[in-house]
Amino acid sequence: MVGACVKGHRLVLISEPISGSQHQVEKATDSWLKWQLIVMGGVVVLVAIIVDWLNYRSEVSTPETERDFGRRKFRDCVRRNMEVTGARVAVKILKSGSDRGIKDYIAEVKSLSQLRHRNLVALIGCCHKKDKFALVYEFMSQGSLGDHLFKDRPLLPWEKRYNIALGLGSAVHYLQKGGNQCMIHRDIKSNNIMLNENFEAKLGDFSTARPVDRTRGPEATEAVETIGYMAPEYVQKGEASKESDVFSFGVVLLEIVCWKCVLDSELRERGLNLVQWVWEHYGSPSLAGRGQFSLRWRKKFLEVVDTGLCKDFDKKQAEALLIVGLWCTHPIAASRPTIEEAMDVLNFKKKPPKLSTQEPR
């Protein structure tokens, strides 16, 4: 080893060969440093994964909904008509990457996890990843009532139509009276009424459903329902209630009888919607005198029944559906029937009421 002094500092120059033991020490030191870097890198990656997972969990779940998500959770998003335990299923994919999609997903899982009824579409399971949300339902082979109403499908015979009306009424009754908590759907419409292979009606799409206190009045919420099916107080004030669901139920009853959309294009050209058009034909039942409606009045009133049926329908049932439909769509919420009163008329436990002789505006 040779030494030299540079400005007060000793500069050491290596001139002798390094021994074998020194090589081993340097090699061991390099190896230890490499392992330290690998471990540190692994810790960083693991922490990042944990943070990402926690963020994801906070986006799609809360402690209140853990039980709901655990009902039947699929690992991957499934395709429509896939086989699950030998049964066909339908899959609803919600919008990803938005707060609304996450909220709708959570709301629908929570709502349907608490509900069990033959006239509600059954939720089989769910699947959620950070950017994908899927709900798996029982498969409804006949599509929606809206498909039959508004698309080129064969007309449904009267018996099936009346049973669809009764099935929908049964679903609404269960939501308001049959469960542990009153539930308002907030989007009852033909496109959300699904039909199975026997044309039994099942109400679906609970992404907007909300539980309410049975003893309290309407609650102000964001209006989410479809134009034409919305009660006036819901449109004007955003007040959703049992009564606003009854209004939507009444609109669907009129669509079933008349086989027209509530916003039928031909009626709109005349400045009318379906409810107003039926009121025109209802006119004044006072022509009947006391006790019963007149045959002349009934003939005029039943002119609104779908002409595609070629008069092959039960006149008593048609009259009941039309009157209940108008009763349910009264513009004043307090003047509408309860769902029990409406169903009593449709099941012929009570006679149809005589409504006001003036069309409500």
The pLDDT tens digits of the residues spanning 305-345 come to 999 999 999 999 999 999 999 999 999 999 999 999 999 99
Domain ranges of the chain: 66-138, 145-346
Where do we find the tokens 């609650």?
219
Closest by alpha carbon to 199, among 152, 159, 153?
159
CATH number of 145-346: 1.10.510.10
**Residue 166 has which token pair?**
């009764």
Measured CA to CA, the distance from residue 58 to residue 340 in angstroms comes to 41
> What is the reported pLDDT for 105?
73
Residues of the chain with pLDDT under 70: 1-87, 94-101, 130, 214-225, 284-293, 357-361
User: For the packed helices 242-258 and 274-282, what is the interaxial angle rounded to 10 degrees?
Assistant: 70
> What is the reported pLDDT for 4?
42
- CB proximity list for 40: less than 8 A, separation 6 or greater: none
DSSP state letters, 140-178: -TT-BHHHHHHSS-PPPPHHHHHHHHHHHHHHHHIIIII
Please identify every residue annotated as catalytic: 187
pTM of the predicted protein model: 0.74
- Fold classified for 66-138: Phosphorylase Kinase; domain 1 (3.30.200)
E-assigned strand segments in the chain:
2-6, 9-13, 83-84, 87-94, 123-128, 133-138, 182-184, 193-195, 201-203, 210-212, 219-220, 239-240
